[in-house]
């Protein structure tokens, strides 16, 4: 064995061992413990597989900063016109802070108008505390001049200060010992809005000033200002040399160095930070400052959530992934034999290196992410196929096995590098211009490209050389799909182009017809309800009951009511467990199966029955019989004819109808029947319950999610903390005759006097409180015994203030200390949630896609010295993406809903579309490289023939690569098509994209090169260098 080959194998073995050590998900590995070199360098499981923690941020609009704000990219964040806009701005900043590289896979959604629901994959106790701190920091950085020493001596200290100055607290303890406050100008000459980048770095000039037991290296933050910020900083520092400059963060002085020179675009923030503090502060500065104050709901409490997928979904997803990997391995071994074994070994190495690098970057693995990772590995087979097919061609030309091996590798090298570098350049642009999951996709794709290049061009080549040197491989035997095809593809360009245009148009029309039905909860938001049950229940039982519900659409067809259910087990913080216990339950999967509370989300929003009082618009309202009447609005369970609902009401109230109710058919929403509005006159308002019962019986009312849960699980839900009430007594002489008794359920046992004290304040004006209300333990317990269930009796007069009584009982929990806390009712949360895709993400995704296409065109123009190649490749990939989304939309229209298949656009669909782009470009560049090579060898042939010959020569590779990827995605879809979890939403677009990508490479991209007017082919395209 040659010495260089020995070194190559040594490198491969060492990197494989190191990668495997990184990739193995072991806890407490040497080198990865707290304080060690690779602490925290591990990948985590996502919300769908393991669960995590949940917290709700409340936006405080009264703390809104009136100053104009700019994002890190320089765009202006305009002052919020309303609370919804302000909340969306906060959400965008929070997204950037938490998901800085797009690898964390959090769920961040607006909830209602002023809240943000944040769910983070399983993280440890210290990480929870760090994230809570990170979320609530304003992150407002200011550079202010410090007053002269004489001025500070004159004014002595707070609170008095001269005009234009204020005293600010010094954060650093060592500096604060000398002077706890500094007198600083109120004007901030430069702010964090001028920062374009910030990074943590070791502070070698200062020692850590923390306590001895936690002492370690001291860190600081290096920052870089924009051009405008650098100009302002220069104008500030130039005239003020030898003066102190205070670096103020969130109203506190972090450091106050003396200006020693004229400074423009770069600087550092000192402050004896720990590494975590420096990293968090750099993240805060990069993400931009919050436009207002925020607080974590429930006094900073967090809830623990189980996995979003049930056991069955996880089992099917795992099975699909394993089957896909086995199918690719089996195919390669059967088709390429000994070379196939080497390809499978290189795929295993690729998987190890990818997992190791993802662990290094702290990536989060979700079930769709794992499927995408396997798809990346499957697509990496393409490099091996290119080499093997080249070796076959060289053997067919009469070369020996050794010569064919070397020449095949040399000829495939340029093609492999070209195709992967094009995708890599595109990924880098996506990372630079994108945000959140777009950046995460770019990082994962880039990792896959680099590991593929290494395993195919370095590892596999070295392994085959070793096997040939040991005579374990003497010749290359492999199967053959096609034998010298001679089809003329360019002659089909025109009809194929017309067919593609027609297909794209049909798909766009289907999208327009479906409208909002195209999008999942990821894009359009939806409803969230969190019921609490009397006894623990599993998410699978809820999913089965709600998932089986059917409703009738406007065409009379039965459709699944909730096709996109997400059900998560929730353990609130007050269930008697510590934060550490809650995190432990998440990490061990204890929250996955059963819980008292579950969070149920769906993109399908059904209003149920809504009612509102009628306020007449007539000048003489008293003359209008409908003034102070009631308007009932509902979606009927089946299509109804005009007047049908009013007829039902009139028939059930025949003896009482003096004024007929009014009916109005409202415009339809989505695919449901048109809503119906029934207006009852004032004389029929007391018959409301009779009317609703008749409408439910004769027509049917589409329930809201809450109503469905009540109907399906009413007897299993936790009871209301304040009961409905029962007659207090049947004794007319009793002072409480005509009153009612309510059962009050409490979170913990308290004496009756605790409740009495709260109500005494409310009824302070009563002459004799004993005849207004009384409180006794329920169940006949002793009057002075603490109890968690109380009977509250109100007199008939006190019933007029029942709402005030309930408010006082609920409000007791907010006091400090709380005299008592009501038990939890059947519904802990009910709100509308926004999309998982922020507006900023949508805008940046479009910008990133356009920029990546431009880079692709420029790269291919340089490599092939013809802009036409880049345009052809982009035309092909845009074609493939449009065909894919069009087919999804068309399937959503024509596939019967009873099949239980989901054809909505989700974040997994976006990931699939970006993967299709990479696949399409790779496929196209392989053919373009062969065309470039043949231009040298077929100088006298017309370009049309050169293109046809090149496509024919690469046809085997095109089919084989498409076949391996097709095998993976088809198996993924076949196993998971009716299961939640996102794999099906990822796999189905990939099936369409693989077929479309293969078609566009052969019939669109390659013949497109004939569309441009060009001179002799040999002069326009770079001839390849042949050995």
pLDDT of 211 above 50: no
> Which whole number is the average pLDDT over 802-814?
86
Give the helix/strand (H/E) hosting 595: strand 595-602
State the pLDDT at residue 966: 87
For the domain bounded by 45-137, which CATH number is listed? Answer: 3.30.70.3400
Over residues 538-558, the pLDDT tens digits come to 877 888 899 888 888 877 778
Give the helix/strand (H/E) hosting 676: strand 676-680
pLDDT of 216 above 80: no
Which two three-digit tokens encode residue 311? Answer: 């056991």
Over residues 249-287, the pLDDT tens digits come to 888 888 888 888 888 888 887 766 777 778 777 877 777
* Greater model confidence, 333 or 653: 333
For the domain bounded by 610-702, which CATH number is listed? Answer: 3.30.70
Q: What is the Cα–Cα distance from 961 to 840, expressed in whole angstroms?
A: 36
Do 141-275 and 610-702 show the same overall fold?
A: no
Band (pLDDT 50/70/90 cuts) for residue 94 is confident
> Which whole number is the average pLDDT over 655-684?
84
Average pLDDT, the chain: 81
For the domain bounded by 141-275, which CATH number is listed? Answer: 3.30.1360.200
3-state secondary structure 286-349: HHCCCCCEEEECCCCCCEEECCCCCHHHHHHHHHHHHHHHHHHHHHHHHHHCHHHHHHHHHHHH
Contact 144, 164 (CB under 8 A): no
Which two three-digit tokens encode residue 129? Answer: 């505390």
pLDDT of 591 above 70: no
DSSP symbols for 970-983: HHHHHHHTTSSSSH
Q: Write the CA distances from 774 to 199, 726, 805, integer angstroms.
A: 64, 15, 13
Over residues 841-899, the pLDDT tens digits come to 666 667 777 887 888 888 888 888 788 888 888 899 899 999 999 999 999 888 876 67
Which two three-digit tokens encode residue 769? Answer: 């409180």
Domain boundaries of the chain, sorted by first residue: 45-137, 141-275, 314-480+837-1020, 532-602, 610-702
What lies within 8 Å, CB to CB, of 467 at 6+ separation is: 338, 342, 473
Q: What is the Cα–Cα distance from 671 to 551, expressed in whole angstroms?
A: 11
Band (pLDDT 50/70/90 cuts) for residue 358 is confident
Strand 266-273 versus strand 676-680 pairing type: unpaired
State the pLDDT at residue 1016: 45
3-class DSSP assignment, residue 667: coil
Contact 284, 550 (CB under 8 A): no
State the pLDDT at residue 1021: 45
State the pLDDT at residue 310: 60
Return the residue matching tokens 């096997």.
467
């Amino acid at each position: 064995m040659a010495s260089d080959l020995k070194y190559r194998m040594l490198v491969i073995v060492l990197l494989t061992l190191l990668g495997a050590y990184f990739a193995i998900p072991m806890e407490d590995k040497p080198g990865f413990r707290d304080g060690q070199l690779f602490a925290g360098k591990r990948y985590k499981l996502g919300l769908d597989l393991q669960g995590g923690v949940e917290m709700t941020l409340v936006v405080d609009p009264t703390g809104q900063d009136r100053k104009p704000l700019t994002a890190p990219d320089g765009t202006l964040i305009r002052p919020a016109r309303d609370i919804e806009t302000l909340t969306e701005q906060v959400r965008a900043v929070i997204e950037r802070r938490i998901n800085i590289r797009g690898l964390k896979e959090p769920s961040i959604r607006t909830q209602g108008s002023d809240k943000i629901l944040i769910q983070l994959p399983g993280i440890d106790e210290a990480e929870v505390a760090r994230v809570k701190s990170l979320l609530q920091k304003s992150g407002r950085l200011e550079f202010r001049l410090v007053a002269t020493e004489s001025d500070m001596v004159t004014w002595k200290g707070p609170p008095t200060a001269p005009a234009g100055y204020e005293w600010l607290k010094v954060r650093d303890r060592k500096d604060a010992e000398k002077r706890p406050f500094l007198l600083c100008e109120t004007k901030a000459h430069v702010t964090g809005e001028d920062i374009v980048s910030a990074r943590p770095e070791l502070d070698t000039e200062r020692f850590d000033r923390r306590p001895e037991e936690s002492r370690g290296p001291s860190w600081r933050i290096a920052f870089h200002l924009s051009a405008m910020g650098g100009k302002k900083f220069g104008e500030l520092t130039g005239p003020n040399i030898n003066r102190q400059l205070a670096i103020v963060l969130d109203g506190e002085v972090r450091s106050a160095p003396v200006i020693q020179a004229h400074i423009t675009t770069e600087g550092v923030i000192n402050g004896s930070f720990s590494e975590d503090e420096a990293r968090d502060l750099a993240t805060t500065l990069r993400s931009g400052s919050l436009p207002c104050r925020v607080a974590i709901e429930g006094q900073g409490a967090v809830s623990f959530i189980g996995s979003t997928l049930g056991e069955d979904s996880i089992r099917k997803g795992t099975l699909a992934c394993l089957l896909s990997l086995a199918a690719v391995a089996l195919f390669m071994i059967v088709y390429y034999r000994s070379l196939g074994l080497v390809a499978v070994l290189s795929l295993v190495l690729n998987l190890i290196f990818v997992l190791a690098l993802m662990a290094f970057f702290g990536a989060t693995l979700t079930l769709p992410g794992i499927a995408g990772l396997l798809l990346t590995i499957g697509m990496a087979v393409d490099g091996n196929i290119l080499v093997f097919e080249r070796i076959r061609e060289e053997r067919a030309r009469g070369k020996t096995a050794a010569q064919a091996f070397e020449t095949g590798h040399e000829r495939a090298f340029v093609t492999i590098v070209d195709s992967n570098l094009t995708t890599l350049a595109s990924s880098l642009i996506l990372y630079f211009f994108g945000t959140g999951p777009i950046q995460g996709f770019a990082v994962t794709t880039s990792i896959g490209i680099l590991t593929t290049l290494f395993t195919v061009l370095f590892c596999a080549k070295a392994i085959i050389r070793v096997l040939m040197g040991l005579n374990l491989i003497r010749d290359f035997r492999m199967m053959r799909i096609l034998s010298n095809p001679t089809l003329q593809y360019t002659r089909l360009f025109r009809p194929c182009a017309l067919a593609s245009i027609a297909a794209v148009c049909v798909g766009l029309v289907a999208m327009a017809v479906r409208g909002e039905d195209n999008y999942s909860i990821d894009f359009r938001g939806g409803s969230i309800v969190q019921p609490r049950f009397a006894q623990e229940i599993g998410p699978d039982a809820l999913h089965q009951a709600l998932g089986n519900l059917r409703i009738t659409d406007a065409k009379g067809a039965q459709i699944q009511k909730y096709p996109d259910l997400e059900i998560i087990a929730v353990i609130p913080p007050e269930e008697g467990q510590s934060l550490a216990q809650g995190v432990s339950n998440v990490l061990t999967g204890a929250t996955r199966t059963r819980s008292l509370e579950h969070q149920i989300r769906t993109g399908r929003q059904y209003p149920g029955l809504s009612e509102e009082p009628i306020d007449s618009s007539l000048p003489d309202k008293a003359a209008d019989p409908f003034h102070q009447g009631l308007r009932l609005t509902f979606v009927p369970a089946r299509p109804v004819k005009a007047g049908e609902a009013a007829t039902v009401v009139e028939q059930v109230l025949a003896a009482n109808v003096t004024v007929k109710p009014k009916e109005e058919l409202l415009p339809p929403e989505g695919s449901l029947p048109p809503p119906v509005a029934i207006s009852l006159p004032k004389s029929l308002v007391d018959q409301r319950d009779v009317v609703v019962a008749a409408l439910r019986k004769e027509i049917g009312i589409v329930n809201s999610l809450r109503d469905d849960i009540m109907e399906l699980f009413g007897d299993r839900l936790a009871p209301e903390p304040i009961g409905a009430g029962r007659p207090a007594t049947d004794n007319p002489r009793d002072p409480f005759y005509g009153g009612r008794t309510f059962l009050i359920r409490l979170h913990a046992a308290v004496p009756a006097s605790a409740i009495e004290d709260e109500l005494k304040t409310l009824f302070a004006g009563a002459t004799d409180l004993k005849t207004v209300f009384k409180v006794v333990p329920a169940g006949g317990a002793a009057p002075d015994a603490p109890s968690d269930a109380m009977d509250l009796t109100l007199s008939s007069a006190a019933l007029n203030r029942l709402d005030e009584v309930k408010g006082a009982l609920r409000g007791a929990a907010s006091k400090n200390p709380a005299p008592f806390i009501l038990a939890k009712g059947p519904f802990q949360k009910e709100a509308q949630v926004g999309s998982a895709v922020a507006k900023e993400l949508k805008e940046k995704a479009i910008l990133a896609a356009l920029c990546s296409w431009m880079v692709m065109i420029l790269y291919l123009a340089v490599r092939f010295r013809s802009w036409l190649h880049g345009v052809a490749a982009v035309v092909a990939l845009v074609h493939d993406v449009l065909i894919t989304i069009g087919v999804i939309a068309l399937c959503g229209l024509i596939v019967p809903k009873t099949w239980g298949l989901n054809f909505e656009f989700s974040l997994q669909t976006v990931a699939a579309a970006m993967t299709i782009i990479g696949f399409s470009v790779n496929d196209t560049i392989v053919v373009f490289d062969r065309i470039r090579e043949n231009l040298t060898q077929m100088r006298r042939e017309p370009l049309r023939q050169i293109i046809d010959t090149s496509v024919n020569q690469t046809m085997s590779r095109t089919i084989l690569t498409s076949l391996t990827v097709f095998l993976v995605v088809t198996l993924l879809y076949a196993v998971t098509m009716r299961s939640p979890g996102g794999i099906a939403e990822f796999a189905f677009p990939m099936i369409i994209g693989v077929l479309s990508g293969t078609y566009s490479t052969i019939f669109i991209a390659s013949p497109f090169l004939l569309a441009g007017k060009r001179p002799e082919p040999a002069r326009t395209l770079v001839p390849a260098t042949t050995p």
